[in-house]
Structure 1
Amino acid sequence: MSALRVVPVRRHGRELYHVLLPDGRNVAWYERGTGRVNLLSADREESVLDALKPYLTGPVTVGPPPLPTAAELAGLALHPDDDLAPNRPGEALLVDLDRDPAPPRRLRTDPRRLDLAAEQAVGEALDRLDGAGWRALHSVPLPGGARLHHLLIGPGGVHCLRSLHARGRRVRIAAPYVAVGRAEPQPLLRRLTHDAERASLALTAEVRPVLAVVEAARIEPSDAGEVRVVAAPDLASLARTGGLLKPADVDALYARARDRNTWSRA
Structure 2
Amino acid sequence: MNQLRVIPTWRHGQERLYVCLQDGRNIAWYDREAARVNLLSEDRRDDVLEALGPFLTGQVAVGPPPVPTPAELARLSLHPDDDLAPNRPGEALQVALDRDPGPPHRLRPDPRRRALSAEQTVGEMLDHLDGAGWHALHSVPLPGGDRIHHLVIGPGGLFAIHTLYAHKSRVTVADPVVALSRRDTSPVLRRVRADADRASYALTAEVHPVLALVGPANVTITTEPRDVRVLTDTGIATLARLGGVLKPADVESLHAAARDRQTWGRV
Give the shorter-chain TM-score range.
Answer: 0.7 to 0.9
Q: Which aligned pairs between 1:161-200 and structure 2 lie closer than 5 A?
A: 161-200=161-200
Question: Kindly, what percent of the aligned residue pairs are identical?
Answer: 56
* Change over 3 Å in CA distance of 1:118–1:64 after alignment to 2: farther
1:179 alignment partner AA:
A
Give SS of 1:103's match. coil
Q: Residues 162 and 212 of structure 2 are in contact (CA less than 8 Å); yes or no, is this contact kept in structure 1?
A: yes
DSSP 3-state at the match of 2:74: helix
Residue 244 (structure 1) aligns with = 245
Q: Which residue pairs with 1:19 in the alignment?
A: 17
- The within-5 A match list for 1:1-266 is 1=3, 4=6, 6=8, 11=13, 16-19=14-17, 28-32=29-33, 34-38=34-38, 42=45, 43-50=47-54, 52=55, 56=57, 58-222=58-222, 223-266=224-267
> How far apart are residue 111 of structure 1 and its match?
1.2
37 and 165 in structure 1: CA distance in 2 versus 1, 3 angstrom threshold: farther
Task: From the CA coordinates, give the structure whose radius of gyration is larger.
Answer: 2
Question: Quick one: which amino acid aligns to residue 76 of structure 2?
Answer: L
In structure 2, C-alpha distance between the alignment counterparts of 1:187 and 1:236, rounded to whole Å? 26
* C-alpha contact (below 8 Å) 2:150/2:162 kept by paired residues: yes
Deviations 1:138-194 (A, max 9, x none): 100111110000111111111000111111222111110111223231111111001
Contact 1:28 1:48 in 2 (8 A): no
Q: Structure 1: give runs of 5+ residues left out of the alignment.
A: none
Is the Cα contact below 8 Å between 2:126 and 2:236 reproduced in 1?
yes
CA offsets per residue over residues 19-72 of structure 1, 9 Å max, x none? 25799987534344x54455567442333241x36xx5x544444442221011
TM-score if structure 1 supplies the norm length? Answer: 0.86
Q: Which amino acid in structure 2 is aligned with residue 257 of structure 1?
A: A
Distance, in Å, in 2 between the alignment partners of 1:46 and 1:131 is: 31
Q: Which runs of 4+ in 1 moved over 3 A?
A: 1-11, 20-27, 29-32, 34-43, 58-65
> Do the aligned partners of residues 63 and 143 (structure 1) sit closer, same or farther apart at CA in structure 2, a change above 3 Å counting?
same
Which amino acid letter does the alignment assign opposite residue 235 of structure 1? I
Cα distance, 1:2 vs structure 2: 7.2
SS in 1 for 2:140: strand
Matches of 1:61 and 1:181 in 2, distance apart?
57
One-letter code aligned to 1:137: L
Counterpart CA distance in 2 for 1:24 and 1:165 is 52
Deviation at 1:4, TM superposition (A): 3.8
Post-superposition offset of 1:93:
0.5
Worse overlay, 36-45 or 122-131: 36-45
Segment drifting more, 195-204 vs 79-88 = 79-88
